[in-house]
Structures are given as structure tokens and as C-alpha cells.
Amino acid sequence: MEINNDSRKDECPLGEQDGMLYAEYLQLDKILNAQRMLSEVNNATVHDEHLFIITHQAYELWFKQVIYELDSVRMIFNKHKGLDESETLEVLKRLSRIVLILKLLADQVMILETMTPLDFMEFREYLCPASGFQSVQFRLIENKLGMKQENRVRFNQNYLCVFGRDEKGLEAIAKSEVEPSLAHLVEQWLERTPGLEPEGFNFWGKYKYNVKTMLETYYKSAMATDCESERAFKLADYEKRKALFDSVLEPNIHAAYVQRGERRFTHKALQGAIMITFYRDEPRFSQPHQLLTLLMDIDSLVTKWRYNHVLMVQRMIGSQHLGTGGSSGYQYLRSTLSDRYKVFLDLFNLSTFLLPRSYIPPLSDAMKSELNIHWGTPSNETISSNRTCSSDN
């Protein structure tokens, strides 16, 4: 049959053009040929091993993107030794992207759960001793976010030994341990929150005063209660609240919490975070407040991933078998769900130190003006034309 070249070109206009096409641009020859099923190599093909490999590879690709975004955000924070306000929106955009990727990663666990433990058992022995435990990128994400060695459970504090001869991986991890993490950069940024200066608005001085007034009111109300049991209950509640507020008002008590790993931020940074939370409706604090919320979202989603992963592990290998990476398996993974693994723990616990609106120190005019974004006053012409419009209506 004779082929009409002109009509073929119409059907596929780009087919014969010079330059890169889709597969070449994406190097699909590498990616799509990187699924080596060990069960197949051993002449005992197990259908679900394909899903197992693809799932892990998809995770690693998304980990790469998360690291790329994290590095860029850390760079923006570090560029001016703080966050330039003109770049806050870009930081918010990138952090939101990380949040969405992590949501996807937490949900992706369900796809692998369509594999049954029996299916998994059929090929598990082939992959031993490989394990997600040896994922360099996962450790990089933890470290770049701000996970500290001393907060890992003891078994995981020696995590470098699992990477064997992976020189490049070891180097990247060593670097991530000493570079400023996102948590550290955010801490430094919070320490410079406008309004904390004692000689200026002196937020902390005002906060302290109002906390004391509030606690006194609680105490008086408790003492004025006639019913003995109710009074005892209210007094116990008062004592508890007082101890909690003392822990944040007294720098040495706060330092002891930090020492025990129960708090992370410096005292000054914590003050900044409380201040931003109180005055988040002021224009210059609304983006910082969004930023703090996104950091908590990131922590929540990493914890959700850990939880979904642990449940899957229990479903696949039970709670007594060791992991292929040599840990106690389910038991080890369950221990990583604790607060020790939350990088932005202080932001979660911030609500403990919030005050009812009536006790929030009012902003001075100067502070209100500093936190505002001035658009300039409308010209007389605009005002009068607006008036004309409204009277016309």
C-alpha cells in the first residue's frame, strides 16, 4: 500500500521534528526500566512485588521533591539571616506544596495495603536485608526539618550504621546534621518578632502581667466558692494552671523542659510564636501565622505517615517479627509515634499558654501601626466620587 507522507505529517505533526520528545525529556528509559522483580529473577514471579517496587520508587521520587522544596525554603530563610517579608509568600507556597505531597504520601500507604500478608511473604525473603530503614532521603527530610539525634529512640540513634558503604549517602546525612535545619531557622526568625523588645512594646512584660492578673482572678473565685469539694477542685485547677504558666514565664523552668527534650524553641522564640498567635489578624502577622500553621501541618502529616506505615507493617508482618532492616519491626516503629519525633512540638503545645481574648494585651497605637500595611490615604477626588456613587444608588 502506498503511504501518503503529507497526510502522515498531518496526523502526527511533531513526529519528525528535531529536539527532545516526552520520553527523552523525562528519561523514561531509566525510570521505567528500573523495576527488577527479584521473584522473577528467581523464577518464582510474585505478581505483587511489582506494586511493592513501584510504591517505594514513587515514595523516593516524592521524597526528592520534598527535599528540593525544603532546601529552597531553608535557603530563603538563611539568605538575609532571617526571612525577608517580600519572600514570605514564596515560602508559604513551597511549604503548602510540601504539605500536599505529604498528604499524598500518607494516603499512598493504602495502595500497598491491597497486597495481602501471604502475597508479601512469597517474596519478602528475596529483599532481605533491604528496608525503608535504609532510605537516605527519609533521614535527610527528618534532619533538614530539625529532628535532633538525642530525640530519636535509642535504637535509631545509631542510624548511620545502616547505610554501609554508601559514601554519598553518608556524606549527605553528615551534612544535614550540621546545616541549619528549618526548625533552627524558624526559631531565629521568631526571636526577632517585632514587639518583643523590652524597651519597645514589651509584649512579654505585658503578657506576664496579664497572666498574673488572670491567675489571681481564678484564685479569688476558687476561694469564694462555698461548697468545699467544689472549692478544692477549683484550687487544684488553679495550682495546675499556675504551674503551667510558671513553666513559660520562668526562663530557667523553660530551659529545664528544653533540656529534657519536652520543648524545643528558645524562650525568646516561644514568646514570638505566642505573640504572632495572639495578633494574627494584624496584617503583618497574618502570613507568619499561616507559616506556623503549615509547619504544624508538616509535623502532623509526617506523624500520620508514620502511623499509617506502622499499621501496614503490623498487617503485613504482625507485631512480633523482626524487620528486614534488623529492628524489632512493629515495636520499634510504634515508638517513633511519640512527641519526641515532632520537630515543631512547641507550636502544638502553644495553646496551653494562650489567654482568653479579654486578657490579651491591647496593642499600642505605635505597635498597631507597625503591624499594619499602609496603602496610603485615598485622595479627596476618590472620596467625593465614591460619595456621588453611593448617593446615586
Task: In angstroms, give the least distance from the CB of 337 to ligand HEM.
Answer: 10
Considering the rule CB under 6 A, would residue 127 count as an interface residue with ligand HEM? no
Residues 153, 340 contacting (CB under 8 angstroms): yes
- 158 DSSP assignment: T
- 116 DSSP assignment: -
Task: In angstroms, give the least distance from the CB of 39 to ligand HEM.
Answer: 14
What is d(CA 30, CA 24) in angstroms, rounded to the nearest whole number? 10
The nearer residue to ligand HEM, 68 or 209, going by C-beta atoms, is: 68
Torsion-angle region of residue 172: left (phi > 0), alpha (psi -120 to 50) or beta?
Answer: alpha
Instruction: Give per-residue burial for 107-131: e unless 16+ CB within 10 Å, then b.
Output: ebbeebeebeeebbebbbebbeeee
Q: Which of residues 144-203 bind ligand HEM (CB under 6 A)?
A: 156
Considering the rule CB under 6 A, would residue 265 count as an interface residue with ligand HEM? no
Stretch that binds ligand HEM, among 54-62, 205-213, 265-273, 359-367 (CB under 6 A): 54-62
What is d(CA 180, CA 302) in angstroms, rounded to the nearest whole number? 20
* Grid coordinates of 87: 519572600
Q: Which ranges constitute the DSSP H helices of the chain? A: 5-11, 22-25, 28-31, 38-41, 49-79, 88-112, 117-127, 136-145, 154-157, 167-178, 182-191, 203-223, 228-249, 251-259, 267-278, 283-317, 330-335, 345-348, 365-370, 380-392
Considering the rule CB under 6 A, would residue 279 count as an interface residue with ligand HEM? no
Q: Which of residues 331-360 bind ligand HEM (CB under 6 A)?
A: 332-333, 336
Stretch that binds ligand HEM, among 4-12, 16-24, 311-319, 383-391 (CB under 6 A): 311-319
Considering the rule CB under 6 A, would residue 270 count as an interface residue with ligand HEM? no
Backbone angles phi, psi at 188, to 5 degrees: -65, -40
Stretch that binds ligand HEM, among 55-63, 199-207, 267-275, 347-355 (CB under 6 A): 55-63
Binds ligand HEM (CB under 6 A): choice among 39, 135, 143, 266: 135
Binds ligand HEM (CB under 6 A): choice among 146, 288, 329, 361: 329
* Grid coordinates of 330: 512493629
Task: In angstroms, give the least distance from the CB of 347 to ligand HEM.
Answer: 21
Binds ligand HEM (CB under 6 A): choice among 77, 123, 133, 265: 133
Task: In angstroms, give the least distance from the CB of 5 to ligand HEM.
Answer: 49
Residue 271 burial (10 A CB sphere; 0-12, 13-18, 19+):
buried
Number of residues that bind ligand HEM (CB under 6 A): 25
The nearer residue to ligand HEM, 254 or 342, going by C-beta atoms, is: 342
Backbone angles phi, psi at 214, to 5 degrees: -65, -45
What is d(CA 95, CA 106) in angstroms, rounded to the nearest whole number? 16
The nearer residue to ligand HEM, 156 or 271, going by C-beta atoms, is: 156
Query: How far, CA to CA in Å, does 207 sit from each of 44, 245, 285, 296, 305?
Result: 69, 11, 18, 24, 37
- Residues composing the chain: 393
Binds ligand HEM (CB under 6 A): choice among 132, 179, 192, 340: 132
Task: In angstroms, give the least distance from the CB of 69 to ligand HEM.
Answer: 18
What is d(CA 304, CA 65) in angstroms, rounded to the nearest whole number? 19
Considering the rule CB under 6 A, would residue 245 count as an interface residue with ligand HEM? no
Binds ligand HEM (CB under 6 A): choice among 316, 345, 350, 371: 316
Binds ligand HEM (CB under 6 A): choice among 77, 120, 163, 353: 120
Considering the rule CB under 6 A, would residue 55 count as an interface residue with ligand HEM? yes
Considering the rule CB under 6 A, would residue 141 count as an interface residue with ligand HEM? no
Binding site for ligand HEM (CB under 6 A): 55-56, 59, 112, 120, 131-133, 135, 138, 156, 309, 312-313, 316-317, 323-327, 329, 332-333, 336
